[in-house]
Structure 1
Amino acid sequence: MGRSRLDGGEGFETGKSAMGVAESSGEAGNVSIDVGMKEDPRLATFKREWFEGKDCLDIGCNEGLITINIAKKFFCRSILGIDIGAGLIETAYWNLWKIAKMEISKSQESLPTDDVFKRISFLRENFVESSRGCSEMYDTTVCLSVTKWIHLNWGDDGLINMFVKIWRLLRPKQDNFSFPIVAMACCMFPIFWAKKRNQRLQVLSALECTF
């Protein structure tokens, strides 16, 4: 897929969308995979009660495969995937159509095909710079492999702005024992940090040899 220009950054182009998702497969993050491949391992860490019967938001949805699989596996009431890349959102709708078509030809214990289009939607949006009203509320927000790229493009202020927006969009609960959920990767970039650790070990080894 071609390179996309970041909103708000004149002349700056990148191979990744500003929401922090890779536009080509094979990189860490919420990457594109062909329909029919193995389920993303991150889904195995999610709990059904985070999503079932709830209105959900997926920030940095990339090509929509995580978004679609959350709806199919956890039976959320609705889920909106947003990404800054127009091409990614276009592909997300294409993936939704392909998966819905596949569901017609085989019976699975998942969402009925006619419900897929009703429960899943996608929107091109720069979440950091958008002016979302608090009338749009969600029970659960998914934000996977995004924060690093927001920090690179908008710095600390961008990260703070993102978390404040997420909090304001979370629907308040009616009792004292349940809280809105923000599903984020605790170790968002394991490959990145593994490389950093290896580099640090190499530096320490070099210092030991020197002294």
Structure 2
Amino acid sequence: MSTQFGNYSDYSGVAKTPGCATHVLDPRLNIMSTLIPGLFTAKSCLDIGCNAGSVSCQLGFDLDAASVTGVDIDPKLVGQAEKLFALRASRVQPPTSDSERVVDYFPISAVLTHGYRIEPESRSARKTSSASAPSTWPCVSFFSADWVTTNRDITEPYDVILALSVIKWIHLEHHDEGLRIFFAKCASSLKSGGYLIIELQGWNSYEKAVRSNHAPHFEQTFRELKYRPETSFDRLLRDEGLHLCASSDALPRRINVYRKS
């Protein structure tokens, strides 16, 4: 299946858990939480290349992040992410004086029968409404942009930035210089002591990406690239003040965690 930016629908990496399987925590998130306990709890997170929003929603609903921003270059996928948020928000049992909030309390059949309790369009409308408008738990939002080139303002730096199975496509789209810009932007968007998490796509993955049935339009760029994920990324990130502090090879693609000094 060919793709312009690597924007496969319902993609969840080579771990093979479908993004639509909302009842199963993404194994990459399990690995990260094991590497650094409490990594996401009460933290502000940015999910770059969020696809259809599975990881972003799990950070908010299941891992108790304080806020999550998902960004993807494909507006159709961002629309799917908004719908996924609406589905999961509609299944939450609100807290009462006698009980705490319960995630995934109402069955999906209840949403299919009675509709969303939280409509995606309503969330979009609230973004431009007054500060007194009711908020939705958890604080998860999405927008469509190319993170390398967007001028969108960051009001506060993030505690955690995730770049899962996306850097290869950023590299192919924006060349070596664009990769440096991406790493520099991630560093400047992190709080001191914050974490950048990368799911490493090896050079063999680049080779597969430019095949005729995937993204052959990147073949010329691929031939011009000098940086390699296995040999160059750590140095480029150190140059931006991001130092490797944890790593795991438990899944088919290595998970690297870098800390901002």
Range of TM-score over shorter length: 0.5 to 0.7
Give yes or no for the alignment of 1:130 onto 2:150.
yes
Match of residue 128 from structure 2:
none
Correspondence 1:153 to 2:173: yes
Match of 1:98 in 2: 87
Query: The residue matched to 2:191 in structure 1 has which SS?
Result: coil
TM-score, normalised relative to structure 2: 0.56
Report how far residue 66 of structure 1 moved. Answer: 0.6
Change (3 A) 1:146 1:157: same
Matches of 1:117 and 1:63 in 2, distance apart?
Answer: 19
Pair 161,124 (structure 1): closer, same or farther in 2 beyond 3 Å:
same
Letter in 2 for 1:131: N
Please tell me whether the aligned partners of residues 139 and 181 of structure 1 are also in contact (alpha carbons under 8 angstroms).
Answer: yes
- 1:141–1:30: structure 2 CA closer, same or farther, 3 Å change rule? farther
Structure 1 counterpart of 2:162: 142
Query: In the alignment, residue 8 of structure 2 is paired with which amino acid?
Result: A
How far off is 1:188 after superposition? 3.4
TM superposition score normalised by structure 1: 0.68
Shift in Å, 1:34: 2.3
Which residue among 159, 167, 184 is the counterpart of 1:164?
Answer: 184
Give the aligned partner of residue 54 of structure 2. 65
Amino acid at match of 2:60: A
Q: List per-residue Cα deviations over 1:80-103 (Å, max 9, x = no partner).
A: 000111111111000111112223
User: What corresponds to 2:213 in structure 1?
Assistant: none
Q: Which among 71, 79, 85 is matched to residue 82 of structure 1?
A: 71
Instruction: Determine if contact 2:10/2:20 at 8 Å carries over to the other structure.
Output: no
Deviations 1:27-82 (A, max 9, x none): 74898632445332111112242211111111000000110001122211101000
Q: For 2:194, give the aligned amino acid.
A: P
Q: Distance in 2 between matches of 1:188 and 1:109?
A: 36
Aligned AA (2:54)? L
Farther-moved stretch of structure 1 (26-35 vs 72-81):
26-35
- Asked if 1:34 is matched to 2:23, the reply is no
- The match for 2:198 among 170, 184, 190 is 184
Q: Is the 8 A contact 1:23 1:32 kept in 2?
A: no
Secondary structure, in 3 states, of the residue corresponding to 2:156? Answer: coil
Note the residue ranges of structure 1 that are not aligned, 5 or more in a row. Answer: 4-13, 173-178, 196-211
| Cα distance, 1:38–1:158 mapped onto 2, change above 3 Å | same
Percent identity between the two aligned chains: 26
Q: How many residues in Structure 1 have an aligned counterpart in Structure 2?
A: 174
Q: 1:190 to 1:68 in 2, by over 3 A?
A: farther
Q: Are the equivalent residues in 1 in contact too, given 2:66–2:138 (CA < 8 A)?
A: no
Where does residue 23 of structure 1 map in the other structure?
Answer: 9
Letter paired with 1:15: T
Cα gap change, 1:24/1:63 in structure 2, threshold over 3 Å: closer, same or farther? closer
Give the Cα–Cα distance (whole angstroms) in 2 for the partners of residues 133 and 163 of structure 1.
17
SS state of the match for residue 140, structure 1?
strand
User: 1:108 & 1:191 partners in 2: Cα distance?
Assistant: 45
